[in-house]
Amino acid sequence: PAPFETRAPFYALLEFEATTEQRAEQALATFEHCVNEGWVIDGVMSQSEQQLQNLWKLREYISETISHWTPYKNDISVTVSKVPAFLADIDAIVTSNYPDFEVLWYGHIGDGNLHLNILKPEALSKEEFFEKCASVNKWVFET
């Protein structure tokens, strides 16, 4: 089940160890600061090992979840400071050239490793879809 009712364009999964009550309070204060700044719109902290595992499953099972749409996958490394512009540029390129393609991003925000997944529209054959994605590859690497 989704951990929030609020939908967002991006989600982040952070893990840390609160070895003391003071550390846990610092983490909560940092989270509240991020909410007050408008950087975060919702969040959840696991209260048990099972909740922690369930949150990680949301991330770990992305590939299996999207496999139904025969995704075209690309793993990309981008300088962390350039990630937001890169995401916007690639989304614009794909949308303008293939408006029926849906893009799903996930990755490791802390080190700039991104997983670009383009989901195959039902109307296209797998072969035609992968052929069109070869053009997207060229634009991704040029960007």
Q: What is the pLDDT of residues 110-139, one digit of tens each?
A: 899 999 999 999 999 999 999 999 988 899
Across residues 95-114, what is the average pLDDT? 93
Q: Quick one: pLDDT at residue 40?
A: 93
Give the residue extent of every domain in the chain.
1-60, 68-142
Query: pTM for this one?
Result: 0.81
pLDDT band at 102; cut points 50, 70, 90:
very high
Percent pLDDT > 70 in the chain is: 100
Q: Quick one: pLDDT at residue 55?
A: 92
| CATH 3.30.70.2740 assigned to 68-142 | yes
Q: How far is CA 2 from CA 28, 42, 44, in A?
A: 21, 12, 11
